[in-house]
Amino acid sequence: MSNPKFKYAPISVFLFPFYNLACGILLCTDGDDSLYPIAVLIDELRNEDVQLRLNSIKKLSTIALALGVERTRTELLPFLTDTIYDEDEVLLALAEQLGNFTMLVGGPEYVHCLLPPLESLATVEETVVRDKAVESLRKISQEHSPVDLEVHFEPLVKRLASGDWFTSRTSACGLFSVCYPRVSSTVKAEIRQHFRTLCSDDTPMVRRAAASKLGEFAKVLELDYVKSDIISLFTALASDEQDSVRLLAVEACVSIATLLPQEDLETLVMPTLRQAAEDKSWRVRYMVADKFSELQKAVGPEITKNDLVPAFQNLLKDCEAEVRAAAANKVKEFCENLPEDSRETIIMTHILPCVKELVSDTNQHVKSALASVIMGLSTILGKDNTVEHLLPLFLAQLKDECPEVRLNIISNLDCVNEVIGIRQLSQSLLPAIVELAEDAKWRVRLAIIEYMPLLAGQLGVEFFDEKLNTLCMAWLIDHVYAIREAATCNLMKLVEKFGAEWAQNTIVPKVLGMANDPNYLHRMTTLFCINSLSEACGQEITTKQMLPVVLKMSNDQVANVRFNVAKSLQKIGPVLDSSALQTEVKPVLEKLATDTDMDVKYFAQEAISGEFSSINVLTE
């Protein structure tokens, strides 16, 4: 090798023939250094450093392009197949790369060349590597012709399905559905038999994999085979001794139910579904609750009325909090999907009593899940039922000790507003909000402040000014600093929501009025508010209304106020024009820079020579 950059020839060249690829590339460059990086990448595939191997694998497509399609098929792929014993992260990257290799091996005609390395990857111990290999196999299966699918791909699936190790059998479960629709009837029968075998495998991990793919496989089967094969497999998996298998069968139930005619559901699906809803394992019942809306749509209105309503009631009353939370989260969807002719009756008679119990549940996750959806019931039940039955529940949740419950109620006030109107809403719920806003515990007040921008957006600017504006301003002079700080941020968010004109007329005058407050902490709050509002209000309001107040406060008797003036001038500097900076700001900062207080001098000098480009003009 004459290339001066490649100064060594590793011994492994003789031990591992693949290194000859690197050497071959270098020898054929004829003085051209452009392929030298490719040779290095190839060399790094066998480097002892894991990171170097990983980097090289991630650039495998570059290596393949340099080698050409024929050498990629005959040399690169065999090498990769023979050396699948690397670190998991390297194998994961390899599995992902091979899924995009079709054109690099010569197109769909040669795509079967990618099967050997992916087959090996589909049998490794690490789950994420196997899953990625299966994902790539599913991807390239679509690029096989029907003939190649039977000649190359389907035998691979059979080998995996009958492998000695459970790892290969679990991988096979994800491949049946992609090849089944495009093979002959004889091969289809073999595939169905292999799947049946895996559903009753001795290893729970294999049965889990089969259960997770049962619904997907059912979708590509002919209806007769769904009834004759899939239903029996579904029943068996739903009765498996392992709850991890049974809960996956519940997921499959949704797909199976959508495939069957309505008249077959009662006999073929419902017995198993009823059994799952009362399963001894809470994890299975949780899965039923989590999939309840999908199940409801799949089985139709009649079965919903007769079977699912009682089952849903039981889930809402379940002894496990996780199950109750999952069911509570589906209350609105379940009620929306009920038959219109009997919806209100079912909700008022069967669902609402359970909901009332959940409002005072001992578990905060249950209450939070319910609070996130309960407001939606108002649009379903109408104004009268909302006022009589739901508002007391909203009020109770608004006063709940859990902040997430309160947030979920406030976040969805618009649903109730649409139904009962803003006046009714203000009379019923707003007093509770105001009460919380004035709570003796500062953390409760802080929580309400954080919800205020959201609440303002729900209620609108007119209602906000009438009912809540005074409250927001009162927070600015709270005796707790955290409240004053949060109130300042709250004003900024309100200005962003309602606009600069609203701020100029409503907020800014009140904020600036605090500059004359006898309490220096309140005067400092004025500066903090100006810092937050300047950008949202824009240059004109900041220059004409805010800046004069800040400059005047530079003569304050309290040093803390004066050095905060310096900090404020630095903060609002980017909003001001250069003329104001030179004629108004600069003289004040120079004066503060000679202040008797060391802190005032420090912050004034920092503002003058600060990093902000708009302030740097002062030094010119």
pLDDT tens, position by position, 362-397: 999 999 999 999 988 998 988 889 888 988 898 888
Q: Which pLDDT score, from 0 to 100, does residue 333 have?
A: 93
Q: Which two tokens stand for residue 351?
A: 């669902």
- pLDDT > 70? residue 16: no
CA dist list (Å): 537 to 80, 510, 544, 579: 62, 15, 11, 19
User: 27 pLDDT band (50/70/90 cuts)?
Assistant: very low
- pLDDT > 80? residue 537: yes
Q: Which two tokens stand for residue 423?
A: 């006046």
User: What does the mean pLDDT of the chain come to?
Assistant: 84
CA dist list (Å): 497 to 166, 208, 346, 371, 491: 58, 50, 41, 25, 10
Q: At what angle do helices 204-212 and 185-199 cross, to 10 degrees?
A: 130
Residue 298: CB partners within 8 Å, gap ≥ 6? 253, 254, 257, 258
Q: What is the largest CA-CA distance in the chain?
A: 97
Q: How far apart are CA 188 and CA 176, in angstroms?
A: 9
pLDDT, average across residues 207-223: 92
Taking alpha carbons only, the member of 8, 68, 18, 81 closest to residue 46 is 18
pLDDT, average across residues 39-58: 71
- pLDDT > 80? residue 417: no
Q: Which pLDDT score, from 0 to 100, does residue 43 have?
A: 66
User: 44 pLDDT band (50/70/90 cuts)?
Assistant: low
- pLDDT > 90? residue 137: yes
pLDDT, average across residues 58-70: 82
User: 41 pLDDT band (50/70/90 cuts)?
Assistant: low
pLDDT, average across residues 486-511: 89
DSSP alpha helices (H): ranges in 150-230?
154-161, 166-173, 176-179, 185-199, 204-212, 214-220, 223-225
Q: How far apart are CA 63 and CA 402, in angstroms?
A: 57
Greatest mean pLDDT among 36-40, 148-152, 189-193, 263-267: 189-193
Q: Which pLDDT score, from 0 to 100, does residue 39 have?
A: 61
Q: How far apart are CA 109 and CA 111, in angstroms?
A: 6
Q: Are 609 and 568 in contact (CB under 8 A)?
A: no
Q: How far apart are CA 189 and CA 480, in angstroms?
A: 75
Q: Are 600 and 592 in contact (CB under 8 A)?
A: yes
User: 275 pLDDT band (50/70/90 cuts)?
Assistant: very high
Kindly report which listed range (149-153, 293-297, 437-441) carries the lowest average pLDDT score.
437-441
∠ CA 139-142-143, rounded to 5°: 100
Instruction: Give the dihedral of Cα atoms 528, 533, 535, 540; nearest 10 deg.
Output: -110
Kindly report which listed range (30-34, 131-135, 585-589) carries the lowest average pLDDT score.
30-34
Taking alpha carbons only, the member of 194, 233, 191 closest to residue 211 is 233
Q: Which pLDDT score, from 0 to 100, does residue 219 have?
A: 92
User: 170 pLDDT band (50/70/90 cuts)?
Assistant: very high
Q: At what angle do helices 88-98 and 127-141 cross, to 10 degrees?
A: 10
- pLDDT > 80? residue 169: yes
Taking alpha carbons only, the member of 127, 119, 116 closest to residue 88 is 127
Phi, psi (deg, nearest 5) at residue 601 = -60, -45
In 3-state terms, what secondary structure has residue 274? helix
Q: Which pLDDT score, from 0 to 100, does residue 40 have?
A: 62
pLDDT, average across residues 449-475: 81
Total Cβ atoms within 10 A of residue 70:
11
pLDDT digits (tens, 9 = 90+) for 149-165: 888 899 999 999 998 89
Taking alpha carbons only, the member of 48, 49, 141, 125 closest to residue 84 is 125
- pLDDT > 90? residue 235: yes
Q: How far apart are CA 159 and CA 172, in angstroms?
A: 8
Residue 494: CB partners within 8 Å, gap ≥ 6? 452, 453, 456, 464, 472, 503, 507
- What would you report as the CA-atom Rg of the chain, rounded to the nearest whole angstrom? 35
pLDDT, average across residues 181-188: 89
Q: Which pLDDT score, from 0 to 100, does residue 203 have?
A: 92
Residue 579: CB partners within 8 Å, gap ≥ 6? none
User: 84 pLDDT band (50/70/90 cuts)?
Assistant: low
| More confident: 43 or 300 | 300
Q: Are 331 and 296 in contact (CB under 8 A)?
A: no
| More confident: 412 or 172 | 172
pLDDT, average across residues 328-333: 94
Exposure string for 409-426, b = 16+ CB within 10 A, e = fewer: bbbbbebbbebbebebbb
Helix, strand and coil percent figures for the chain, each rounded to 5: 80, 0, 20
